[in-house]
Amino acid sequence: MSEDRLFKIKKQLASGNNQWLEDLYLNYKSYCTLTVISKFNISKDEANGIFSEALLIIYKNLMDGKMTSLKSEKTYLTSICVNLGRNRNYYIANEQRKENDIRTLFYRNNDNDDDQEDQDFKDELWTKCTEAIGELGEKCQIILKAFYLDNLTMKEIADLLDLKNADVAKTLKRRCYKRLLERIERKKP
C-alpha cells in the first residue's frame, strides 16, 4: 500500500470514517483469531480480544505516523496478533513464576517428608511473609497487595496511588518486592 493511500486512510479515519477498520475486521478477523488460537492454545474470546487490540494498535500506529508504508494488511495485522498472543503467554508465565518466588525462597533446601512438619513449615513461612510485609512502608504494602492479591494492572495501581504512569508503578513494585524478599531472607533460620 502506497504512502498516498495510507495518507488518504488516515484522513478518512480522522474525519470519523472507519470503513478501512471495518474492512480489516471483516476480511481478517477469522484468519487472525484462528492463527492465535492454534498458535497459543487460547480461547475464542481471548483471540477476539487480541484481534480487537490489534485493530486499536494498527489504528494508533497509522494515526501517530509510525506506519508510513504497508505491504500487506493481512501480514501486518497477523503479526500484531501473534505478538500480542506471545506477550500474553509471557505475562501468564511470568505471573506464575512470581507466585512461586517466595515459596521457592523457603523451600529451596527443605526436604520435609512428614505432612505435619510440612504444614508447620508452611505456617512458619506464612508468618515470616506477613511479618516481612508488615515491616514495609504503607505504599509498598498497598502496591504489593494490589498487584499480587488483587491482580491490578500497573496502570490501575498508578491511578490508585496517583502516580505519574504505569512505569512509575512498575518501578516502585519492583523495589518493594526486592525489599520484601530481603526481609524474608533475613528471617530464614
CA distance 37 to 33: 6
Q: What is the pLDDT along the chain (189 residues), one digit of tens a residue?
A: 778 888 889 899 889 999 999 999 999 999 999 999 999 888 899 999 999 999 999 999 889 888 888 888 999 999 999 999 888 877 666 666 665 555 555 444 444 445 666 667 767 777 777 788 888 889 998 998 888 777 888 999 999 999 999 999 999 998 998 888 888 777 765
| Domains recognised in the chain with CATH numbers | 3-90 (1.10.1740), 109-187 (1.20.140.160)
Contact criterion met (CB below 8 Å) for 47 and 36: yes
**pTM of the predicted protein model:** 0.50
At 186 the pLDDT is 79
CA distance 160 to 66: 31
